[in-house]
Structure 1
Amino acid sequence: MFDGTNAELGDFAASANLDNDQFAQLVQSDPAAAARILQRAAEHGDAIAQALFAQLLLDGNGVMRDREMAWHWFQLAAHTGHVMAMNMLGRCCEFGWGRAIDIELAAVWYRRAADHGLDWGMYNLAHLHVSGSGVAMDRSLAYALYRRAADLGHAKSMGIVGRYHEQGWEVPADANAAFDWYRKSAHGGDFRGQCSYASLLAQRGQIEDAVYWLRLAVQTAIPSFAIKLAETLAVSAQAEFRKIALEIRQCHTGHAVMAADLEQALHTAA
Structure 2
Amino acid sequence: MAFHLRREEVLDGDQLGQMLEESPAKAAQALLMAAGQGIVEAQLLLGQILLDGRGIERDPALARRWFAIAANQGNAMAHNMLGRCLEHGWGGEVDVADAARHYRFAADAGLDWGLYNYANLLATGRGVATDPVAALQCYRLAAEKGHAKSMNLLGRYLEDGVHCPVDVPAAHEWYRRSAEGGDFRGQFSHAGILAARGRVEQALAWLRQALVGGNANFLKVAAAALEEATQPEIRAMAVDYRSRLTELGARP
SS of structure 1 residue aligned to 2:58: coil
SS of structure 1 residue aligned to 2:129: coil
CA distance in 1, matches of 2:229, 2:6: 48
Aligned ranges for residues 98-247 of structure 1 at < 5 Å?
A: 98-247=91-240
Where does residue 71 of structure 2 map in the other structure? 78
Alignment partner of 2:88 out of 95, 99, 102: 95
How far is 1:19 from its partner? Answer: 5.7
TM-aligned CA distance change 1:205 to 1:14, over 3 Å: farther
Matched letter for residue 88 of structure 1 = M
How far is 1:248 from its partner? Answer: 2.9
SS of structure 2 residue aligned to 1:85: helix
TM-score, scaled to structure 1 = 0.84
- Cα deviation 1:191-212 (Å, max 9, x = unaligned): 1011111111212222222112
How far is 1:187 from its partner? Answer: 1.1
CA distance in 2, matches of 1:183, 1:37: 40
- CA RMSD in angstroms comes to 1.9
How far is 1:13 from its partner? Answer: 8.2
Question: Unpaired runs of 5+ in structure 1?
Answer: 1-11, 255-270
Number of aligned positions between the proteins: 243
How far is 1:235 from its partner? Answer: 4.1
Alignment partner of 2:31 out of 10, 33, 38: 38
Question: Unpaired runs of 5+ in structure 2?
Answer: 248-252
Matched letter for residue 216 of structure 1 = Q
The reply on whether 1:24 has 2:27 as its aligned counterpart is: no
CA distance in 2, matches of 1:25, 1:102: 35
Tell me, yes or no, if the aligned pair for 2:200 and 2:234 is still in contact at 8 Å.
Answer: no
CA distance in 2, matches of 1:13, 1:188: 32
TM-score, scaled to structure 2 = 0.90
SS of structure 2 residue aligned to 1:205: coil
Alignment partner of 1:69 out of 47, 62, 65: 62
- State the identity %: 48
The reply on whether 1:55 has 2:45 as its aligned counterpart is: no
- Cα deviation 1:67-87 (Å, max 9, x = unaligned): 221111111111112111010
Matched letter for residue 136 of structure 2 = Y
